[in-house]
Structure 1
């Protein structure tokens, strides 16, 4: 039997509240050693604007951009995003590159050896994860599964006109959030992600 369409699934108020409380979170930010830019085709300019603002305000020392070539493009997400970051004023030699990842797990798994070779994982104590609002805590949960030692912060962006807490009132925003929310428990069970923040 096919699963119910995320955009039409009935939602109880308590599930909406739980998603707002536990999934769609941003953490307090403080200066970090590394900004982890997860690849995307959505809202690239917005994400880069946020990264450039963080750079100007001294919130990270290095960055890594991770993302492979997606259908319809000849360039990797990493190539596109890094070029935009450099154009926005972030020094290119401070932005590490990972060009092969096709999902969030690969973003982390493929990036860790690159970070280690360039900087030494032991020298990175804190990371800001920057990505799409709807993917939300799955970024640091994936990072926590593979790199538990480092402190993780989360900042997410989107271009929807409505407030984040009202995501369920927009058909496309709702579809994206529920698509990611429905992955959390199965991914935890399969060991793809780890609970974060830890209780």
Structure 2
């Protein structure tokens, strides 16, 4: 694959758009599964609040632990801002230890089982960064295949998602994540979507 500084072929851009920067139709779900972040927090919260106002979820699970240089966990930062944006505190569940996408899911499943019961979750909407789109759903598919999955990919760059390859930082982020897919599949961290 081309380094971030090389020209990308139109075929590769199209392949990444189709296979990695996936979009799913949205409809109301039992659960909003928020993958933690330190980047684009305002944009994440705006998207989550809009989904809440639209009646798209009953429960929200926010996952993410502390990151280097900041002892406060991502889940607490996001959930506090979600409450300020109008999402009721009582519908938010927190997972505060995860340090990677696999842990986001595996550490959250016992919390969901204890609080609402996994059998009561037939569908979810995952919320995560645009450049990691496919990997969120592929990780969920690996650890929780039974649930129906949708995705809201948050683009916190001031640049159109479809023109990701024209923005230096977004291009670097997308290509870095794209390159992880095959090694992560080989390692068993993720699986293909049905």
TM-score scaled to structure 1, two decimals? Answer: 0.94
- Name which of 28, 33, 36 aligns with 1:31: 28
Post-superposition offset of 1:10:
4.1
Deviations 1:36-92 (A, max 9, x none): 000001100111111011001100000100000001212100110000011111111
> Which stretch shows the higher mean deviation, 177-186 or 9-18?
9-18
Q: Which SS does the other structure have where 1:181 is aligned?
A: helix
Q: Which SS does the other structure have where 1:182 is aligned?
A: helix
Q: Which SS does the other structure have where 2:65 is aligned?
A: coil
Identify the residue that residue 146 of structure 2 maps to in structure 1. Answer: 149
Deviations 1:131-158 (A, max 9, x none): 1000011101100000000000011111
Identify the residue that residue 70 of structure 2 maps to in structure 1. Answer: 73
- Name which of 170, 174, 179 aligns with 2:176: 179
Q: Which runs of 5+ in 1 are unaligned?
A: none
- Name which of 21, 45, 49 aligns with 1:52: 49
Q: 2: CA distance between counterparts of 1:112 and 1:167?
A: 33
Identify the residue that residue 111 of structure 2 maps to in structure 1. Answer: 114
- Name which of 164, 169, 192 aligns with 1:167: 164
Identify the residue that residue 134 of structure 1 maps to in structure 2. Answer: 131
Which runs of structure 1 show a deviation greater than 6 angstroms over 4 or more consecutive aligned residues?
none
Post-superposition offset of 1:122:
0.6
Identify the residue that residue 91 of structure 1 maps to in structure 2. Answer: 88
Q: Which runs of 5+ in 2 are unaligned?
A: none
Q: 2: CA distance between counterparts of 1:132 and 1:146?
A: 20
TM-score scaled to structure 2, two decimals? Answer: 0.96
Higher helix share: 2
Q: Which SS does the other structure have where 1:183 is aligned?
A: helix
Q: 2: CA distance between counterparts of 1:93 and 1:5?
A: 47
Post-superposition offset of 1:162:
2.3
2:38–2:74 CA contact under 8 A, matched in 1: yes
